[in-house]
Amino acid sequence: MVTRIKNGRTVAQQAATKMATDVAAKVQKNVKRAVAGTLAAVSASLPMLGTAVGWLVPLVWTVWGLGLAVMLVLTVLAHWLIGRLHGRFNGGKPTGPSAVPV
C-alpha cells in the first residue's frame, strides 16, 4: 500500500485532523447556541418567577402560622391530659412543692 506523505504526515492523518477540527468547531457552535437559548429562556421566565414569589411568601407564612397554632393546641391538650392523669394515679393527693407541710 502506498501512502503519500506531505509535510511529515500522511494524507489520512491530515484528513483525520481536519475532520476533528471541523467537528470541534461545530460542537463549539452548538454549545454556544444552546447556552444562548438557555439564557434567553431564563431571562424570559424571570418576571414569571417574581410573580410566583409574590404569592408564595404569604402562603409560606400562613402555613407556618397554622403549624404553630396546631403545635400550641397540642401542647395545651397534653398539659391538661398529663395533669388530669397525674391526679388519678396518685390517689388525688396534691404533689409538688406546695404539698409539703411546713
Under the banding of pLDDT at 50, 70 and 90, the label for residue 1 is very low
Q: In this structure, is residue 101 part of a structural domain? A: no
pLDDT higher at 54 or 31: 31
Q: Would you state the cell numbers that stand for residue 46, as one nine-digit string?
A: 424571570
pLDDT higher at 64 or 45: 64
How much is the mean pLDDT over the chain? 82
CA 75, CA 82: separation in Å to the nearest integer? 10
The string of pLDDT tens digits covering residues 69-81 is 999 999 999 998 9
pLDDT higher at 3 or 32: 32
pLDDT at position 101 over 60: no
Number of domains in the chain: 1
Q: In this structure, is residue 26 part of a structural domain? A: yes
The whole domain housing 72 covers 5-93
